[in-house]
Structure 1
Amino acid sequence: MKLKKFIAILSVATMTAGLAVGCGSSDSASSDEKSSKSESDWDSSNDITIVSREDGSGTRGAFIELFGIEEKKDGEKVDMTTDDAQITNSTSVMLTTVAGDDYAIGYVSLGSLNDTVKALKIDGEEASEQNIKDGKYKICRPFNIATKKGEDNEVAKDFIAYIMSKEGQQVISDNGYIGDDSAEAYAGSKPSGKAVVGGSSSVSPVMEKLIEAYKKVNTGAEIELQTTDSTTGMTSAIDGSYDIGMASRELQDEEKDKLDSQVIATDGIAVIVNKNNTTDELSSDQVKTIYTGDATTWDEVVK
């Protein structure tokens, strides 16, 4: 009798365990189903949320030029970005905007790209440092710094010498940008004092790293960083508000007349979409049709 009772209890326990495992498998399957459903919910017939940067942004200036969104009319360059585009005023806002909207498209500095969004291949090429070096990924632009002609701030001069040195260019490479591999070692005078650096929000993240590294070799220097935009960076360098201005684009002719400038790095521009977007690649022409407003839904560009 005792043996029969034990077998009965064992059978019940086994059935209970089996039910528990079955329930667990069901929950797991349900979870996988939800995940799969979430991915397949993306609908290409929805409107594209076009996100662009503000006027004065060097990233916007380079983006519209590289994709042919800037056109000449009556001898002047005209930005043809659609009026329907949402405007963001910084790299971080661009990233959070695209990450929060399944149907958004935007663009950021390659060095600022993170895993909250997905970078698209453009014309079959991935946005990567190596592809830029190899000349395969064409959507790239210079990072410039500029000083007013006749600038005599010794700290600013020495900091620029550090940026262009082997050590400074290594900081640039370590942060995902393309520097000068042939630069010579830093041999500055390490003066004491203060310099103000300001401008492009795309250049700002790597400039912050450069400032941190420079302060380790010149503890007597104080470098203040102000993040604005490329145009403000140049105009403020001209009027003396900034000792060093930053721009994530080429300098304009009127800026070149009043400033001494140099390229500190090359950076790619990544075209980004939400991670739920099933699109992995666009051509340059497709990007242009989106940003000029000629295509308004995803299925017009993604067949």
Structure 2
Amino acid sequence: MKLTIKEIAKLSGVSVTTVSQIMNNKGGRFSEKTRNKVLKVIEENDYAPNYFASNIILKKSKTIGVIAPSGSEQFTSGILQVLRDKLQENGYYLIICESDHQQAREMDLLKKLNQLGVEAIVFFTANQYSSEVIKQGRYLKTPILFVDRGLNQGYYGSILVEEEIGACKAIEWLIRRGNQKIAILTEDATTYHLNERFLGYKRALKEANLPFLVELVQKVPLTIEGGYHGTTQLIHSQPDVSAIFCVDDMVALGCYQAIYDMEKQLYRDIDMVGFDGGAMTELVRPKIRSVKQPLEQFGAILSEKIKKVILYPNERITDVMLDTVFED
């Protein structure tokens, strides 16, 4: 049974104030004997203070809330791994909540995280929010840092990625490999709008004097299942397709599985590239070539922004633009 601070004080024969000050390293005025007596009782009873009660008093929770559609998304998980490690170096911890892109759930999570007293919220969203909900960068009194491809006008600035050039380089690589009929598995617009990746695809075709064909555009959910079914439908309707550009690595993983189930060999019978460059694409063999997002750099910049926002919540932060990389 967990003891209370009052019970620790009673067992030590001192006041609650004395226990509290010793626990918070403010017991310099007490004798060594008193300090040791209190610390011994704490150690023997494996006492830990009520974390959230302490937060209410100190108004410093050392926690950062995260609202993400899913922790399994490669883009999201890659950033969160870096963010977690960077923030833990400064004694901060993440509380991660999944929203599945549902705006009603996002609103509920904003409310819950604010009630928990997190010091800031990192908000991965594909939904738009009015100034009535997020006013001057805050939900109520909690600073909000959007990760949303610039969809919302973030008070604390957006971290943007130059996606069109990366997509263009990937298609150029497919063309150099002799592919003339290159299809694209793109988003169905139920969640994110990945316009820059689509523009990069069209730009590369135009620069190579290859026609843009509507029948080579397959719109799918940004999931493994979406990639699998989209690839199957595409190959059945367009059997002479020689390469596929997947605008998301989860889609690429589904595409990879469909190619395998159709008894085709990747990079021999058909070429494919993905987009994001997460860890999962490196695990399969042959590995999936992918446009790599600067996930580590993104997470590091985001962690610095969080620390700045906590210290200076009224200061605006400018946007940052990062580059993608495609290694041919």
**TM-score tier after normalising by the smaller chain length:** 0.3 to 0.5
The structure carrying a bigger strand percent of its residues is 1
Q: Quick one: higher RCO (CA 8 Å, sep 6+), 1 or 2?
A: 1
TM-score (norm 1): 0.40
TM-score (norm 2): 0.38
